[in-house]
Amino acid sequence: MDQSPPPIQILEPGQVPDPTLALPPRQPQPWDTVAYIADPDRFCRQNFHRHGPVFRTSVFGGTTVFVGSAIANQMVFNGDLKYTEIALPTTTMTMFGEHSLFQRPDLHGSRKTALRPGFTGANLDHYIPRLDTLIGQGLGTWQPGDRVPLFPAVADLCFDALVPLLLGIDLNDSQGDPWAGLSLSAKPQLCSLYQTFFDGFYGLVPWNVPWTSYGRGLQARSQLLEFMAGIVARRRQETQTTQSLDPRNDFLAMMLAQQQADPQGVFSDALIQNQCLLQLWASHYEISGLVSSWMEQMGRHPAIVERLLAEQAQVWGSAPDGDPALSPSALKQLPILESTLKETLRVTPPSSTATRRLTRDVVVAGLLFKQGWGLVAEPRIAHIMAEHFQDPDRFDPDRFLGDRNEGKPYTFIPFGGGVHACLGAQMALVVAKVFAIHLLRQFTWAGVEPPRYVQFPLKHLKADYCIQLRSRSR
- Stretch binding ligand HEM (CB under 6 A), from 56-64, 182-190, 221-229, 424-432: 424-432
DSSP 352-411: -PPPEEESS-EEETTEEE-TT-EEEE-HHHHTT-TTTSSSTTS--GGGGSTTT----TTT
Of 423, 436, 439, 469, the residue at the interface with ligand HEM (CB under 6 A) is 423
How big is the chain, counted in residues?
474
**Residue 189 carries which DSSP code?**
H
Examine residue 157 and tell whether it contacts ligand HEM (CB under 6 A): no
With respect to ligand HEM, which residue has the nearer C-beta, 9 or 292? 292
With respect to ligand HEM, which residue has the nearer C-beta, 32 or 286? 286
With respect to ligand HEM, which residue has the nearer C-beta, 15 or 113? 113
With respect to ligand HEM, which residue has the nearer C-beta, 128 or 469? 128
Mask 76-115, x = binds ligand HEM (CB under 6 A)? -------------------------xx---------x---
Whole-angstrom distance, CA of residue 180 vs CA of residue 329: 37
The residue count for binding ligand HEM (CB under 6 A) is 23
With respect to ligand HEM, which residue has the nearer C-beta, 80 or 146? 80
Answer yes or no: are the C-beta atoms of 275 and 424 closer than 8 Å.
no
- Stretch binding ligand HEM (CB under 6 A), from 14-22, 55-63, 317-325, 420-428: 420-428
Shortest reach from residue 337's CB to ligand HEM, in Å? 15
Segment 263-282, which members bind ligand HEM (CB under 6 A)?
279, 282
Of 134, 427, 430, 434, the residue at the interface with ligand HEM (CB under 6 A) is 427
Examine residue 422 and tell whether it contacts ligand HEM (CB under 6 A): yes
Q: Residues 89, 92, 94, 96: is their CA dihedral positive or negative?
A: negative
Shortest reach from residue 3's CB to ligand HEM, in Å? 34
Residue type at 169?
I
DSSP 231-250: HHHHHHHHHHHH----TTS-
Backbone dihedral angles phi then psi of residue 424, each to the nearest 5 degrees: -105, 15
Segment 14-73, which members bind ligand HEM (CB under 6 A)?
none
With respect to ligand HEM, which residue has the nearer C-beta, 127 or 445? 127
- Stretch binding ligand HEM (CB under 6 A), from 30-38, 89-97, 239-247, 409-417: 409-417
Examine residue 416 and tell whether it contacts ligand HEM (CB under 6 A): yes
For residue 106, how many C-alpha atoms fall within 13 Å in the half-sphere facing its CB?
Answer: 0
**Residue 258 carries which DSSP code?**
H
Answer yes or no: are the C-beta atoms of 57 and 28 closer than 8 Å.
yes
Backbone dihedral angles phi then psi of residue 368, each to the nearest 5 degrees: -95, 125
Residue type at 43?
F
DSSP helix, strand, coil percent of the chain (3-state; round to 5): 50, 10, 40
Examine residue 415 and tell whether it contacts ligand HEM (CB under 6 A): yes
With respect to ligand HEM, which residue has the nearer C-beta, 148 or 167? 167
Segment 331-350, which members bind ligand HEM (CB under 6 A)?
350
Q: Spell out the alpha helix ranges (H) of 87-211.
A: 90-96, 105-115, 121-139, 150-167, 187-201
Examine residue 171 and tell whether it contacts ligand HEM (CB under 6 A): no
CB proximity list for 276: less than 8 A, separation 6 or greater: 166, 167, 228, 231, 232, 251, 252
Examine residue 126 and tell whether it contacts ligand HEM (CB under 6 A): no
Whole-angstrom distance, CA of residue 102 vs CA of residue 336: 34
Chain position whose Cβ is nearest to ligand HEM: 424
Residue 45, number of CB atoms within 10 A of its CB: 14
With respect to ligand HEM, which residue has the nearer C-beta, 47 or 288? 288
**Residue 286 carries which DSSP code?**
H
Shortest reach from residue 277's CB to ligand HEM, in Å? 12
With respect to ligand HEM, which residue has the nearer C-beta, 279 or 339? 279
Whole-angstrom distance, CA of residue 109 vs CA of residue 114: 9
Query: Where on the chain is the footprint of ligand HEM (CB under 6 A)?
Result: 101-102, 112, 119, 279, 282-283, 286-287, 290, 350-351, 353-354, 414-416, 420, 422-424, 427-428
